[in-house]
Structure 1
Amino acid sequence: MHRIQYLLAFTFLLSAFGLKAASILIPMDEAQKDHLKSYGIAFWVLKNGEEVDWLLNYRGGSFVTKYDPKTENECKVRGVSYEVLADDKVSQIIAQINDPSVNMDVVKLQTAPRMAVYSPKTGVKPADDAVILVLKYAEIPFDLVYDEEVLRGDLNKYDWLHLHHEDFTGQYSKESRGRYAEKFQEIKASQEATAKKFGYSKVSKMKLAVAQNICSFCAGGGFLLAMCSGADSFDIALAAQNTDIVDEQYDGDPPDPQAQSKLDFSRTLAFQNFTVVTGSYPSGRSGGRFSNIDVSNTRHIAQEDDFFTLFDFSAKWDVIPSMLTQNHERVIKGFMGLATAFDERKIKSTVTIMGELKSANEARYIHGEYGKGQWTFYGGHDPENYQYNPNEPPTDLSLHPNSPGYRLILNNVLFPAAKKKKLKT
């Protein structure tokens, strides 16, 4: 008997014996056919005004919601594995989770966050950003915003913001040569026009204003996820707000020779005591693309050895990092990007490291608080493409529906929906 037929028969038997099919469990362990679309189901339930219980560390971080034929049908349509549970079974699971001796907890998700992705609206393929790719695959709605929307103050419309692999230092990712030369000129012209429109003399000054507005969004209670160079260049721009670190070929004048001594690390979210690279790329390879925060060009790790391990947090006490690290695997395949991994020696002591390659002092997945808000930085470009090439076709996530690396992105998507009093850290 097929699984769907079995579930229908099971539901009929429950009714026949007077038992209520109270809940739908979406397992997130190896029994799940499509982990990524499962997050989309949870988001869909929230968007429809219902609640979802996130069972931390129970079967890979499973979801439970009250039984509704519409939810069951949505699971079938999207190809998501589910189980129909009676009241007594749900009670048994909750009792197991509430046992003080086990590392599990229940987090109630109540309201779907309003989603935005900071990314150019033209000239960017879905493959250019893993978050855009997985949000579309999971069928989670979002808006695109970029410099104009941020500078106009539109971020107050949203609860959650992702930063694509942007260069917030105003150096256009230092991609002015070779196969990137044409793209560089196009991006440079577009961003210079926006800077002029808003009264900024340089793109670097405009990008700094954008970064500061994003900081204000986070400080006011917003949730921020940045990947790849969107993470390290963001902090570098904030630290360099009182100096000029941009090379002449990008803004028409040389950088401040005293720039390093003028960096203000009190302005940053995650990183400190780093050294900026003021020259062009690839001449600055030994020090990284923007600074020595990223270890992309100094690491010597073969692809077959490139993994990072998620920390095992206390679900009952360290609820936030526990939510952000829910997975069916604890060892995650590494992947490269403009910013691949962060030197742990450059990370502030207040930051929580959630995933690392300890032998190389590399942090891949980190989290912290800023004002009333939360932020997460995730190194690398695409969890299912080890070394991304812009000429490649987009990653087909239907071939990777159980991706542990992509699950970390989607943990951040549901995190803001959590009932606030459940956040104990």
Structure 2
Amino acid sequence: MKQRLCFLLLLAISSWAVPGLANSILIPMDNQQANHLKAYGIAYKALKDDLDVDWLLNYRGGSFMLKQVPAIEAECRIRGVSVEVISDARAASIKQQLSDPDVNMNVVTLQKAAKIIVYSPIKVSPAEFENTDAVLLVLTYAEIPYEVVYDEEVLKGDLPKYDWLHLHHEDFTGQYGRNMHRQSMTDIKVQEDIARKYGFSKVSQMKLAVAKGIKAFCAGGGYLFAMCSAAETLDIALAADGVDIVGSSYDGDDVDPDAQSKLDFSKTFAFGNFTLEGDNGYRGFSTFSDINSAGGRGFDQASGFFELFNFSAKWDVIPAMLTQNHESIIKEFFGQTTAFRKGAVKPSSLVMGEGKTSDRYIYGESGKGQWTFYGGHDPEGLRGGGGFRNPTDLNLHPHSPGYRLILNNVLFPSARKKKRKT
């Protein structure tokens, strides 16, 4: 009996090093996954622990594979993430399958945990509306760490310390969102105080400087992800550099009557050929431009679907990474900027997801960096009874394909190679 026990013990110990036995784990991202969103948090934790993660593009919904580590397995159990323990031989076989030139699959090795920041007024003011920021919600739910910055950090030049920057509801034109639901008088006063502190006579001038700082961050190699009105107003502010587009209800003087003709679309990330909307005043309601496919309807109730394009995982690796999902048809969702009018999207912008009449999900490059703009406010948000103020409970949406697109972007910078230690 003792000899048998000793034999079993030796077999168990030796199995850790024997090829063909369980030395790898697969985190499936198809319909067998119990929690798609938290699975991204597991991948990020592995990267933080200095482990490489293989992202298996188009394999079972864009699964993750890495060396078997007890701490990672335990974390999967704690967070309710499905995991399959496989042999190294099986892992090698999967990679061989994905390398076949006749299949639209690929392996991308993630090697570093990106330093993530979210630009948000919650840094300096109550900003209650920001509680519904989809990226803040999903980063918290997936247990991916992040920091919050706002105007001062950008103006001080802190952005190059980070890899990944998110923008959401912000109005970079200096018109406080043009919506009484967006910002309180307290939020406005805080921005005015920052503008005065840094020598700007108007908030619009300060926001333009911030927009330029964000553009420089991206050009220097940073990754920018923007949703909702931030994607639209960032480009409007950049195009209107040196032009007064802000009405007297916000800054006390009138708009330049020739503002529209003076817009310089060469300065923008994604949009051109757009027309500015008139000013209805802060206590009224207005959209910013006809970039927004919802027109003057603002928080338009979307009722259709948009479709992700199928990119080559071998030749178009970047968009293939950013569109990994277990579903390719996704329910549309509204926002102050709901989606992007097709005629306003520059030819240089790559459309990765589109509805019948608008583009929803676009990508591009700026200098050494990259950006993604995603239309809408909250992929699982509901409309009615002031519900847009209520944060979504992601415990009810662990398989959300719309939220998965956000998390694809969070992991994307991890595909860059780690710097060698010298």
TM-score, length basis structure 2: 0.90
In structure 2, the partner of 1:88 is 89
* Structure 2 letter corresponding to 1:238: L
Q: 1:22 offset after TM fit, Å?
A: 1.8
In structure 1, the partner of 2:239 is 239
The question of 1:372 aligning with 2:368 is answered yes
* Structure 2 letter corresponding to 1:28: M
In structure 1, the partner of 2:7 is none
The question of 1:160 aligning with 2:164 is answered yes
* Structure 2 letter corresponding to 1:352: L
Distance 1:61 1:391 in 2: 31
* 1:54 to 1:236, Cα distance in 2 relative to 1, 3 A: same
Distance 1:196 1:335 in 2: 37
| Structure 1: unaligned runs, 5 residues or longer | 1-10
In structure 2, the partner of 1:130 is 134
More displaced stretch, 36-45 vs 122-131:
122-131
* 1:300 to 1:219, Cα distance in 2 relative to 1, 3 A: closer
The question of 1:173 aligning with 2:177 is answered yes
* Structure 2 letter corresponding to 1:325: T
Match of 1:295 among 293, 296, 304: 293
Distance 1:400 1:222 in 2: 30
Distance 1:303 1:393 in 2: 16
Q: 1:133 offset after TM fit, Å?
A: 0.4
* 1:27 to 1:13, Cα distance in 2 relative to 1, 3 A: farther
| Structure 2: unaligned runs, 5 residues or longer | 1-10
Percentage of matched positions with identical amino acids: 58
* Structure 1 letter corresponding to 2:416: K
Number of aligned positions between the proteins: 403
Task: Give 1:11-90 correspondences, 5 Å limit.
Answer: 15=15, 19-90=20-91
Distance 1:147 1:298 in 2: 28
Task: Give 1:2-17 correspondences, 5 Å limit.
Answer: 15=15
* 1:161 to 1:329, Cα distance in 2 relative to 1, 3 A: same
Name the SS for the 1:398 alignment partner.
Answer: helix
More displaced stretch, 396-405 vs 289-298:
289-298
* 1:369 to 1:304, Cα distance in 2 relative to 1, 3 A: closer
Q: 1:387 offset after TM fit, Å?
A: 3.2
* Structure 2 letter corresponding to 1:320: I
Match of 1:401 among 398, 402, 417: 398
Distance 2:413 2:236 in 1: 26
In structure 1, the partner of 2:324 is 326
Q: 1:390 offset after TM fit, Å?
A: 6.0
Q: 1:17 offset after TM fit, Å?
A: 12
Q: Does the CA-based 8 Å contact 2:362-2:372 persist in structure 1?
A: yes
In structure 1, the partner of 2:149 is 145
Q: 1:394 offset after TM fit, Å?
A: 1.8
Name the SS for the 1:190 alignment partner.
Answer: helix
Distance 2:78 2:223 in 1: 30
* 1:57 to 1:409, Cα distance in 2 relative to 1, 3 A: same
In structure 1, the partner of 2:250 is 250
Distance 1:319 1:250 in 2: 44
In structure 2, the partner of 1:8 is none
* 1:143 to 1:260, Cα distance in 2 relative to 1, 3 A: same
Q: Does the CA-based 8 Å contact 1:107-1:419 persist in structure 2?
A: no
Distance 1:112 1:314 in 2: 25
Name the SS for the 1:244 alignment partner.
Answer: coil
Distance 2:298 2:248 in 1: 32
Name the SS for the 2:276 alignment partner.
Answer: coil
